[in-house]
Amino acid sequence: MGDHFEKGQHALLNEGEENEMEIFGYRTQGCRKTLCLAGSIFSFGILPLVFYWRPAWHVWANCVPCSLQEADVVLLRTTDEFQTYSWKKVMWIYLSSLNREFGVTPDHTLITDEEYIINRAIRKPDLKVRCIKVQKIRYVWNNLEGQFQKIGCLEDWLSSTKIHLKFGSGLTREEQEIRRLICGPNTIDVEITPIWKLLIKEVLNPFYIFQLFSVCLWFSEDYKEYAFAIIIMSIMSIALTVYDLREQSVKLHHLVASHNSITVSVCGRKAGVQELESRFLVPGDLLVLTGNKVQMPCDAILIDGSCVVDEGMLTGFNTAKGDLVRSILYPKPMNFRLYRDAIRFLLCLVGTAAIGMIYTLCVYVLSGDPPEEVVKKALDVITIAVPPALPAALTTGIIYAQRRLKKRGIFCISPQRINVCGQLNLVCFDKTGTLTREGLDLWGVVPCDRSGFQEIHSFASGRSLPWGPLCAAMATCHSLILLDGTIQGDPLDLKMFEATTWEMALSGDDFHIKGVPAHAMVVKPCKTASQVPVEGIAILRQFPFSSALQRMTVIAQEMGGDRLAFMKGAPERVASFCQPETVPTSFVSELQSYTTQGFRVIALAYKKLEMDHHSTALTRDKVESDLIFLGLLILENRLKDETKPVLEELISARIRTVMVTGDNLQTAITVARKSGMVSESQKVILIEANETTGSPSASITWKLVEEKKHIGYSNQDNYINIREEVSDNGREGSYHFALSGKSFQVISQHFSSLLPKILINGTIFARMSPGQKSSLVEEFQKLDYFVGMCGDGANDCGALKMAHVGISLSEQEASVASPFTSKTPNIECVPHLIKEGRAALVTSFCMFKYMALYSMIQYVGVLLLYWETNSLSNYQFLFQDLAITTLIGITMNLNGAYPKLVPFRPAGRLISPPLLLSVIFNILLSLAMHIVGFILVQRQPWYSMEMHSVCTLQNESISKLIISPTAPEKIGSNGAFISFENTTIWFLGTINCIIVALIFSKGKPFRQPIYTNYIFVLVLVIQLSVCLFILFADIPELYRRLDLLCTPILWRVYIIIMLSSNFIVSLVVEEAIIENRALWMTFKRCFGYQSKSQYRIWQRALANDPSWPLLNQTSYSDMPGCGRGVSYSNPVFESNEEHL
């Protein structure tokens, strides 16, 4: 269509977002629609089928371009590399029904206020709204701005003041009804896809349509047996695919169904508080949280009061969970070269078939055959050259791999991803719950006083912590709540509170302490506690924890005692708010001694407050000043037992391992060292990037992390020791970059030209938000890495979905986002999955090669026989297709994965030189053998075109042959096929199919050796034995059934010699050249071939750059060479999570 559009015909939908699309306006034209309808009828349904495969053609054929404002059909095209088309009808929403019920007129005040998109979308005076629905999201036409805009959420430009002013008292019923009608229901509507829909979608796959064509042709030629076999195999393949899709649909439906039927309390402007089903909520509704545990049915802004939320995602298609569900319902096409190459492979076979068709037409037309026979023969060539059994054969390999994974507790909802696992060369791991055990264990607390740190108090001893400010801080400085008699909240807070052995309760109506509200949270010492001089402590006010502030503070009131403020947070941040004389001089070294051992360290501080002011009148700045340092809380996050050996296995196989965690940087670095992700001899370089205050520029600093001696002081969220001077030797050794999510964001936005350089050696990414995790995976993919992601939490969902292969260790939301879920909650599943992926990938290549050779063997044989206006009979075809190839296709894939991960991957492309050479060489070898056999048989002294059998009498020489002409009625069912050429070509082709299967069935280093596949070996032995038996049996009835002629024993020996020569030459070339990796590496070096993958190009460039890596220096984004580049910028990534 080109890139020239009418004015207003083209626009962008969801600009800058992950699901960005181009939108084009079209208007249906009656005459075009009539012509397309006629074409559909006269093409017997082929035209609609083409339009189904190519949606853009449907629009271009039925419609003419117009502006989006006039369009009744819109054509959508994704802006990614796939350029996927779809089309939608423009619909109308009529508000006339509200006119009768509420008196809504064009000049009603609710409609005339055009500050909101909803009102801008209403066309006046006829009160209707144009809209389209794309991927479950409704878009309305904004009449003021002339574009389609997403509806169903509050406008981004609304300030806090306007939100309070407009929505602080709730909506009127009229406003609710207008918004409900235009925005639609607040629900994630995921219906269970009916089986008939899944079936039709699968059956309309182009390859199954080709199979239908082949089967119809075979029935017309009375080739029923193989037609039925193909039908059965196709039904099984389709049934398995539909079953998998149905299971995923049911699982997704059940996951979201519970979120669609929540009852909430909504406060209306006039109606007051009412109970309402969540599906009837509209943007702007005022929710009232009653204090009980509730699932939030939508994204919401807290405008008054306080609440505690977990990391579980919210509902509605305009929310994080809605985005996740939509991405599962409408996944991006998988960009895997194997599938692109498979299409090219099939196109090559189609091209070969076209040549054969022309040849066939020429031969049979010149021979004067009837036209219908000529057409059948020509069409036969297509079904011979393009094997209809290929999809079923490939599906069996995936099914076997899926079954082996299931035995290991690894479940797959996207079987086609198994092949992709074989190409993984980088795996990202979440830390907590993935590499380390779930949650933190409280190891101890280090109190301090004026003289410095005291002896550590270990909770493992069972001794309770003595009463004092430190104990009070642990009992009160948290965000825990009491819900249905159970304490709930952050796991770290819970561990800390439980260590005090105190109890939590809500104050009653009879609770009267000055300045303390009723129903306040109160903590009390347990009944067995002794020497605690206070009855309890009431928590008056919380200043909640923020990852940006790295601390939280509470104001508490001792019953009958002092009012106190307690703070906990990152040690450096807490120390900065304390009186300097209260912070021990050994603070830095004490902190380092624990963080370098992998402990999580939290600092605590407090101060006494005056009783004069009400707690709500105190500002945070006033409370968080002049504190007294209390000590350090030491928590332990232990590695899982399986983590280190698995990472060592991956690293030894040259698979990069990367940590992507929300935890702090020092803990992440320590865990990386302990787990073996960073070895003892390797250095860690800390990258810190910051935006310059009041300036559009940013700075980036590079420092080497030192483990032993304290030289400097860092402002990271936990202490990291920095070496100030580095010898030149430090630049030569292996190194890893470590950075925080904030730094990653700044680098992405201000130093995009440096980003690929950093990612080449970036190993530790800490304090990463969910959006940043997804963006990091995408950036690795831009460098041509095949990326796996292994995680267990809701905050990993985006990255699990974005990765080539997502592996969830949880059965919650993460399992729906990822194609693989492990029942065993550790990373042992990762190498198992890669091994099975490599085995499945090699199996796919073996099957492609075998099917290509099988097709070409039949193709060559048939075309040679066509030269004599002969062919193979139905039973001869049936024996090759069913008894040989089908059995091989089913059993060849049974080889399991090799137990060891080798340090290289299988070829990822069908058009790789070794694979192409293997296929071409074996085709030429088979062609040569068939031609030699075809010519030699015609030159034998006993050959005669009029003879139907040549057999030698016992003890007589070859010169005394019995010539036995056979009467026409005894020739067999297909007498036209019987000839010496036919017999020779059939034996050569049939046994050659067995030889090729043996040659192409690869074992080590990616699959188990062939001899371990007992069923396959047994099938080959039986097939070869049967073929040799037929060759040497001299059973007239058997020969008659198979339309074969009896030949002299010597000629049969010649056939064996030709086949043996073919086998030996093919085996030697395959093993000595095709599978000789060292030889191909030598060829690459001789011809100067270098990988074109982006990460390889960067690795070579950085290896030759003496100034890299940068150390002990700061660069600025406005410096030459440090600013924004164009090659790797990622405009889609724009995270505002730090500011939420």
Residue 492 CB coordination number (10 Å): 18
Q: Which uninterrupted H or E stretch holds 1121?
A: none
DSSP β-bridge partners for residue 684: 736
Half-sphere exposure of 398 (CA within 13 A, CB side): 20
Cα dist. 858→362, 386, 938 in Å? Answer: 19, 11, 20
Q: Which uninterrupted H or E stretch holds 733?
A: none
Beta strand ranges found along 745-892 (DSSP E): 762-766, 787-791, 805-808, 820-822
Phi, psi of 524, rounded to the nearest 5 degrees: -135, 145
Contact by Cβ (8 Å): 1032, 1048: no
Cα dist. 495→169, 440, 490, 636 in Å? Answer: 40, 8, 9, 11
Phi, psi of 598, rounded to the nearest 5 degrees: 90, 10
Contact by Cβ (8 Å): 375, 361: no
Residue 439 CB coordination number (10 Å): 13
Place of tokens 């990796």: 1077
Residues sharing a CB contact under 8 Å with residue 4, sequence separation 6 or more, in sequence order: none
Cα dist. 300→285, 304, 721, 746, 802 in Å? Answer: 9, 12, 41, 28, 26
Place of tokens 């078939």: 353
Phi, psi of 558, rounded to the nearest 5 degrees: -70, 140
Active-site residue list? 430
Q: Which uninterrupted H or E stretch holds 604?
A: strand 599-609
Phi, psi of 520, rounded to the nearest 5 degrees: -80, 160
Place of tokens 């049936």: 878
Helix, strand, coil fractions of the chain, as percent rounded to 5: 45, 20, 35
Distance CA 1084, CA 1091 (A): 10
Q: Name the 3-class secondary structure at 812.
A: coil
Cα dist. 42→39, 155, 209, 210 in Å? Answer: 5, 51, 18, 20
Q: What six digits make up the tokens of 678?
A: 């960073």
Distance of CA 914 to the CA centre of its chain: 30
CA dihedral 783, 785, 791, 797 (to 10 degrees): 60
Q: What six digits make up the tokens of 853?
A: 């050779």
Q: What six digits make up the tokens of 433?
A: 């719950």
Contact by Cβ (8 Å): 565, 628: no
195-213 burial: b if 16+ Cβ within 10 Å, else e: eeebbeebeeeeebebbee
DSSP β-bridge partners for residue 688: 701
Q: What six digits make up the tokens of 756?
A: 């690929």
Q: Could you tell me how many residues make up the chain?
A: 1140
Q: What angle do CA 1040, 1044, 1047 make, to 5 degrees?
A: 120
Cα dist. 49→52, 350, 450, 659, 679 in Å? Answer: 5, 20, 83, 47, 58
Cα dist. 551→566, 594, 669 in Å? Answer: 11, 19, 21
Residue 1106 CB coordination number (10 Å): 7
Half-sphere exposure of 250 (CA within 13 A, CB side): 8
Q: Are strands 683-691 and 735-740 parallel, antiparallel or unpaired?
A: parallel
